[in-house]
Amino acid sequence: MRLTTKGRFAVTAMIDLALRQEQGPVTLAGISQRQHISLSYLEQLFGKLRRHEIVESVRGPGGGYNLARRAEDVTVADIIIAVDEPLDATQCGGKGSCEGTKQHDGHCMTHELWSTLNQKMVEYLDSVSLKDLVDQQRSREGAPAVLRDRRNEAPAVEPVRVAPKGPNSVFNMAGS
């Protein structure tokens, strides 16, 4: 398996999206600024992620992207496969037609090594969810404050009102 820039950028952008989607749809321009990834490159990646139903787009003012599934249901392998990254470290691409092979089975001498490595990488990347990466990122940075609109919430305890004992104005101080 070769993890190329495409796969790395896709995973990075998805972490950014998952971290911020609670505040509404996340724009690619915002991800581009924060992660220093070109906007046109993100548009290509998110087109593929949308076709694989990993993200969904929201059109119009205030639009952007949201996760199409829960973060715990999206794996790193899902993301990398969605952006067309081959998860294969063999020279032949898993076809068993290694170049320069002299063996009767068409495999090079290290084919089984790389094939097993592929299997282990896919298993590992399939075991890591987007939620795992988001949780890891939040613990590294310290969890960002979640802002809630508390205007309509009833207070837990009614505040005790105490009447002032002295003058309520600097002008009344002279008369006391």
Mean pLDDT, residues 143-152 taken together = 45
In a domain, 157, yes or no: no
Q: What is the pTM of this model?
A: 0.69
Short-list 65, 76, 82, 80, CA closest to 17: 65
How many folded domains does the chain comprise?
1
Residues facing residue 129 across a β-bridge = 75
How far is the C-alpha of 112 from the C-alpha of 91, rounded, in Å? Answer: 11
In a domain, 176, yes or no: no
How far is the C-alpha of 64 from the C-alpha of 66, rounded, in Å? Answer: 7
Taking the CA of residue 134 as centre, how many other CA atoms within 13 Å lie in the half-sphere pointing to its CB? 21
In a domain, 21, yes or no: yes
Mean pLDDT, residues 52-74 taken together = 95
In a domain, 78, yes or no: yes
Looking at 21-129, list the stretches that DSSP marks H as alpha helix, in order from N- to C-terminal side. 28-35, 39-51, 76-82, 111-127
How far is the C-alpha of 45 from the C-alpha of 167, rounded, in Å? Answer: 67
- The neighbour count for residue 26, using CB atoms within 10 Å, is 24
In a domain, 14, yes or no: yes
- The DSSP output letter for 154 is P
Q: What is the CATH number of the domain that holds 66?
A: 1.10.10.10
In a domain, 173, yes or no: no
In a domain, 90, yes or no: no
Residue keyed to tokens 């290509």? 44
Q: In degrees rounded to 5, what are phi and psi of residue 65?
A: -130, 145
Short-list 79, 71, 70, CA closest to 125: 79
- Tens of pLDDT, residue by residue over 79-117, are 999 997 666 655 555 555 555 555 556 667 777 887 788
Q: For residue 26, what are the domain limits?
A: 5-85+129-141
In a domain, 161, yes or no: no
Instruction: Say if residues 53 and 66 touch (Cβ distance below 8 Å).
Output: no
Please say if the pLDDT value at position 48 is more than 60: yes
Short-list 121, 63, 59, 61, CA closest to 89: 121
How far is the C-alpha of 74 from the C-alpha of 125, rounded, in Å? Answer: 11
pLDDT the model gives residue 111: 77
